[in-house]
A and B are shown apart, each in its own frame.
Chain A
Amino acid sequence: GAGVSQSPSNKVTEKGKDVELRCDPISGHTALYWYRQSLGQGLEFLIYFQGNSAPDKSGLPSDRFSAERTGGSVSTLTIQRTQQEDSAVYLCASSSSGTGALSTDTQYFGPGTRLTVL
């Protein structure tokens, strides 16, 4: 079946502009995660959605960052008034994490969106 997809694969924007990054998780996965991968910084947790529960936004670096997940499927990460330090690869992952029998705790990652802020 299809894996996690992300769009666009590359985004170049000017400082101060808003950007939207999209993630299509694997069908049926209840959990969706956003991470940021900067050179030499590893993966930085941003936000996760689990079913209908309130998202854990504790990793969002500032109020310029927001994310939503519509209908328990597609998610959009929005960065307002982009800054040069926002340049990074943004990764999305989904999993069937949960307490049910289908929970695996294994995350499946998309290919990422490389954001460059000029």
Chain B
Amino acid sequence: AQSVAQPEDQVNVAEGNPLTVKCTYSVSGNPYLFWYVQYPNRGLQFLLKYITGDNLVKGSYGFEAEFNKSQTSFHLKKPSALVSDSALYFCAVRDGAGTYKYIFGTGTRLKVLA
């Protein structure tokens, strides 16, 4: 069965510092990996995805994530955090060889301090 873990409920980072939001996964086939963001009082928005190809994927708002097969991780990163990045971030996985069922993590709340 597929699963996703986001080990941190909350991440605090100072504005201008690099940020990392962690995600590890488990699937039986090839993973399709996603990051979504939920801003206060707004719906979930797609940030980026890894399906195949280059392990480093770039997405919206300057975010990027690196697929690491050996560590089964897909951590979200940004070189310089903005206060406006403060939001709830969800990692999700789908088994590329299986159904179209997505499993989401429990979310990590990112707080960027001015």
Please report A residues at the B interface, Cβ cutoff 8 Å: 31, 33, 35, 40-45, 48, 50, 56, 58-59, 91, 93, 97-98, 105-112
Contact = CB atoms under 8 A, between A and B. Distances in A.
A33 B101 CA distance: 9
Interface in B9-57: 32, 34, 36, 42-46, 49, 51
Interface string B70-93: 000000000000000000001010
A49 B105 CA distance: 21
A58 B46 contact: no
Contact of B101 (A41, A48, A111, A112): A48
Contact of B104 (A43, A48, A106, A110): A43
Contact of B100 (A48, A59, A109): A48
Given A106-B46, A108-B46, A112-B43, A50 B100 contact: yes
Nearest to B94: A105
A45 B45 CA distance: 17
B94 A109 contact: no
B101 A58 contact: yes
Which of the four size classes fits the interface of chain B?
20 to 34
A58 B103 CA distance: 12
Given A41-B106, A42-B104, A91-B44, A105 B51 contact: yes
A109 B32 CA distance: 18
B100 A42 contact: no
A45 B102 contact: yes
B94 to A, nearest CB: 7
Contacts of A105: 32, 34, 49, 51, 94
